[in-house]
């Protein structure tokens, strides 16, 4: 009997080991697939334009410094200025959209008022309206207000972020008991103090997730900046990259383009590395630390 149990135990261990091995192999394959575009980009930043055109290869070249100098010293497309412009717009737009979306979700979740469902439904309906539909009227309004080639039209409207508000509302329904708000009111806290000092630490994981998505969306935004920022000194990185891609054949350099793209995604990677640690934190831990 004991021998049968030993055999069964060995078979279970072999099956478990095989299952783990298969899982690791699948995860490694998926990781390689996900990392391949980054490896491809990193390798092609080190190759010359002629080498890139000849054939596909993952062997690094020796043109990294030359491509970097070519990008930084380009007099027609100032990447440092474009990165600064994109960073200013993205940071402020992301902060405003995440904060005010959370504040709006807090008001809808906590308060009971007449027309609450109607207001919430109206906000969700705005999610279905694409930016392109209202772009013409928006640009015309910005032109009449004298705000063309300024960052304000790309920052202030970010306050209205229905998709982020919807996510925050769902997160609050699952993780924010109303007893915490009632206890804070009994202790004499006003609503701004409750949201900023009590609710915000609880919502750190949700804020981190939405901040990453909002940062990427604002950083890669091309449509509105192309319409509004018509001066070279105010243009953002996506606009500069598109201009580089649309250059005539005599000035087109694939190595320079890959280097431009690689430099443009560095801030996104840095922001993800900074905020990703907040995603896995628990709600209770975040409230205690706050």
What is the residue-averaged pLDDT of the chain?
84
Does residue 18 contact residue 35 with C-beta atoms inside 8 Å?
no
Domain borders along the chain are 2-44, 68-289
Q: How far apart are CA 272 and CA 62, in angstroms?
A: 29
CB 265 within 8 A of CB 275: no
Going by pLDDT thresholds of 50, 70 and 90, the confidence category of residue 248 is: low
Closest Cα partner for 162 from 191, 131, 204, 193?
Answer: 131
Quote the percentage of the chain above a pLDDT of 70: 90
The CATH classification of domain 68-289, taken from the options 3.30.420.130, 1.10.150.120, 3.40.50.720, 1.10.3720.10: 1.10.3720.10
Q: Is the per-residue pLDDT at 151 higher than 90?
A: yes
156 — pLDDT class (breaks 50, 70, 90): very high
pTM of the complete model: 0.81
| Residue bearing tokens 């440092």 | 80
Q: Does 3 score more than 60 pLDDT?
A: no
**pLDDT value at residue 85:** 94
User: Directed axis angle between helix 79-110 and helix 204-219, to 10°?
Assistant: 140
């Amino acid at each position: 009997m004991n021998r049968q149990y030993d055999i069964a135990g060995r078979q279970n261990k072999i099956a478990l080991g095989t299952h783990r091995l298969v899982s690791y192999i699948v995860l490694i394959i998926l990781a390689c697939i996900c990392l391949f575009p980054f490896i491809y980009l990193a390798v092609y930043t080190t190759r010359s334009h002629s080498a890139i055109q000849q054939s596909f290869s993952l062997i690094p070249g020796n043109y990294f410094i030359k491509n970097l100098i070519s990008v930084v010293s380009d007099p027609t497309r100032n990447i440092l200025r474009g990165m600064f412009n994109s960073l200013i717009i993205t940071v402020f737009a992301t902060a405003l959209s995440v904060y005010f979306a959370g504040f709006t979700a807090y008001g809808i979740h906590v308060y009971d008022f007449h027309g609450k469902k109607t207001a919430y439904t109206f906000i969700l309906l705005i999610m279905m309206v694409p930016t392109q539909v209202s772009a013409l009227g928006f640009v015309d309004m910005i032109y009449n207000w004298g705000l063309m080639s300024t960052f304000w039209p790309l920052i202030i409207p970010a306050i209205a972020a229905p998709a982020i508000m919807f996510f925050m509302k769902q997160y609050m329904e699952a993780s924010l008991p109303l007893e915490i708000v009632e206890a804070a009111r009994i202790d004499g806290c006003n609503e701004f103090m409750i949201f900023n000092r009590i609710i915000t630490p609880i919502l750190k994981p949700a804020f981190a997730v939405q901040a990453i998505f909002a940062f990427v969306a604002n950083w890669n935004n091309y449509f509105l900046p192309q319409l509004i920022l018509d001066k070279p000194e105010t243009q953002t990185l996506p606009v500069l990259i598109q201009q580089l891609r649309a250059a005539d054949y005599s000035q087109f350099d694939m190595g320079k383009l890959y280097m431009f793209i690689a430099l443009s995604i560095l801030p996104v990677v840095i922001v993800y590395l900074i905020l990703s640690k907040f995603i896995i934190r628990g709600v209770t831990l975040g409230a205690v630390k706050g």
